[in-house]
Structure 1
Amino acid sequence: MSEHNISSRESINYSQESNIAALAAAMSDTSRMKILCALMDGKAWTATELSSIADIAASTTSSHLSRLLKANLVTCLSQGRHRYFRLYNHSIASLLENMMGVAFQVNNPSRLKVPKELLKARTCYDHLAGDIAVKLYDSLVKNKWINDEGSDLTIQGKEKLLQLGVPIDAKTKRKKCCPCLDWSERKFHVGGHLGSSLLDFFENNNWIKRVPGYREVIITSKGHKELHRHFFIDE
């Protein structure tokens, strides 16, 4: 290999490492991580709302959001006079979920501080996570609604979900279905287009209720019955 090629490769590697370091630096603040974790509910928030969640002054929140915007960790949506912030894309949500998994060690004392309700059911950006979501994934695989790898719907699965009323977009540019490692259960739950569609369906049909301002999700009495009826989930 020529010296020129070696030099080019070293330059690319250095640039990549610098970018990783810059991304890590943008996340290396407790208040900024509070903002990012709040945005894991998949919704768009105003700076004022994020200021309240992170428990910091409005001016400080503005500074943190500027840093997160510059690092492409969040994006800003303007609607009239209001500005809303949300995670930049699904990749950032996946990165945060993986980081939570690393931080959430089995023997870590912080495990005891996590509310049981959050472990039971919560949002993972635009899909369902927690114990109930893992049981849902296992049921979909066991009953052959998705393949063993969790990467796609089966013909039977498409028919069953469409009959139930779950919207399935055959032309979606996202992964139709994918296994997402649950940080608290250390098993897979359903991600991708299917995961997002299921969460919307559950919420629109009053199977679940979101807790405003939090990732926590409450399974309604109707939801318990319907999850058992259609997905054979026993709690």
Structure 2
Amino acid sequence: MRDGPDIAAIAALIGDPTRAAMLSALMDGRALTAGELATEAGVTPQTASSHIAKLEAGGMLARIKQGRHAYLRLAGPDVATILEGLMRFSARRAPPRTRPGPKDAALREARVCYNHLAGRRGVQLYRSLVAAGALSEGPVATARMAAALAPLGLDPGTVPGRSPLCRDCLDWSERRHHLAGRLGRAIFARMEEIGWLRRDAGSRAVLLTPPGRMAFDRAFPVPVRANG
């Protein structure tokens, strides 16, 4: 047997349909109870407990205790990155459905990916920041980032935390990068706070409010490039 990371074990954890449904339900960054995960996966609480135990043992889930209640969340952004990559690969390999579900268009337009903005709108934000010179290769926030985020009333210098400020995340539906990291999370939270967007209950879709859509397009216009 060859030495190295046990890819097969991780693939087996994610590959079960019930566990995959649970992990996908946590991709919006929320923490859910075991009962809520059972509902998301369409299984009994007893069955859910068995799957949750395997995901915890495999380092995919982390348990948070709050009073008498316990919540489960993804163990970290690296788990979200794995899942997003699999979604991207699956979307590329799977034959297109003849009748897309009603949520498909909304998810492709804008969705939450581990507490940052993804989908077409997330890519628009990323490309606009690059075009404005606020984001350079790396990605790295430049001195122009403060001016770029002024419409949000967000100062990038005050974003707390020790994890990377900016991080690339390759979008599964757009096949381009959107912005993750502390800054990506802070931007998403600020857009929620000032009413530019709201989460769609029961889905990872994010809906821009009418005023929010206008403000978003004004603050982060789509870059005009000859090659698109």
TM-score, reference length from structure 1: 0.87
Q: Does 1:151 align with 2:172?
A: no
Q: Secondary structure at the match of 2:212?
A: helix
Q: Does 1:199 align with 2:188?
A: yes
**Which residue in 2 is equivalent to 1:24?**
11
Q: Which structure is larger by alpha-carbon Rg, 1 or 2?
A: 1
Q: CA deviation at 1:179?
A: 2.0
Q: Secondary structure at the match of 2:26?
A: helix
Structure 2 regions of 5+ residues with no counterpart?
A: 224-228
**Which residue in 2 is equivalent to 1:4?**
none
* 2:146/2:154 contact within 8 Å kept: no
Aligned partners of 1:185, 1:154: CA distance in 2, in Å? 25
Q: CA deviation at 1:161?
A: 2.3
* 1:210/1:216 contact within 8 Å kept: yes
Aligned partners of 2:138, 2:121: CA distance in 1, in Å? 17
Q: Does 1:177 align with 2:134?
A: no
- Residue type of the partner of 2:149? L
- Residue type of the partner of 1:137? Y
Aligned partners of 1:231, 1:53: CA distance in 2, in Å? 34
Q: CA deviation at 1:123?
A: 0.8
Q: CA deviation at 1:55?
A: 0.7
* 1:145/1:153 contact within 8 Å kept: yes
Aligned partners of 1:42, 1:54: CA distance in 2, in Å? 17
Percent of aligned pairs sharing the same letter: 36
| Number of equivalent positions | 220
**Which residue in 2 is equivalent to 1:45?**
32
Aligned partners of 2:82, 2:215: CA distance in 1, in Å? 32
Q: Does 1:101 align with 2:88?
A: yes
Structure 1 regions of 5+ residues with no counterpart?
A: 1-9
Q: Secondary structure at the match of 1:86?
A: strand
Q: CA deviation at 1:175?
A: 1.5
* 2:197/2:212 contact within 8 Å kept: yes
Q: Pick one of 141, 166, 177 that aligns with 2:154.
A: 166
Task: After superposition, give the CA deviation of every residue in 1:77-120 in whole Å (9 maximum; x if it has no partner).
Answer: 01111110000001000010011111111762248635101110
- Residue type of the partner of 1:165? G
Aligned partners of 1:112, 1:194: CA distance in 2, in Å? 36
**Which residue in 2 is equivalent to 1:79?**
66
- Residue type of the partner of 1:70? A
Greater share of helix residues, 1 or 2? 1
- Residue type of the partner of 1:152? V
Aligned partners of 1:25, 1:58: CA distance in 2, in Å? 21
Q: CA deviation at 1:136?
A: 1.0
Task: After superposition, give the CA deviation of every residue in 1:138-188 in whole Å (9 maximum; x if it has no partner).
Answer: 1111111111x2511110112442574225346632221122110001011
* 2:129/2:148 contact within 8 Å kept: no
* 1:141/1:150 contact within 8 Å kept: no
Q: CA deviation at 1:209?
A: 0.5
Q: RMSD in angstroms over aligned alpha carbons?
A: 2.1
Q: 1:38 to 1:138 in 2, by over 3 A?
A: same
TM alignment of 1:129-140, pairs within 5 A: 129-140=118-129
- Residue type of the partner of 1:151? P
**Which residue in 2 is equivalent to 1:35?**
22
* 2:127/2:222 contact within 8 Å kept: no
Q: CA deviation at 1:42?
A: 0.2
Aligned partners of 1:76, 1:83: CA distance in 2, in Å? 7
- Residue type of the partner of 2:124? K
TM-score, reference length from structure 2: 0.89
Aligned partners of 1:209, 1:165: CA distance in 2, in Å? 18
* 1:227/1:233 contact within 8 Å kept: no
* 1:104/1:110 contact within 8 Å kept: no
Q: CA deviation at 1:215?
A: 0.7
Q: CA deviation at 1:24?
A: 1.4
* 2:159/2:182 contact within 8 Å kept: no
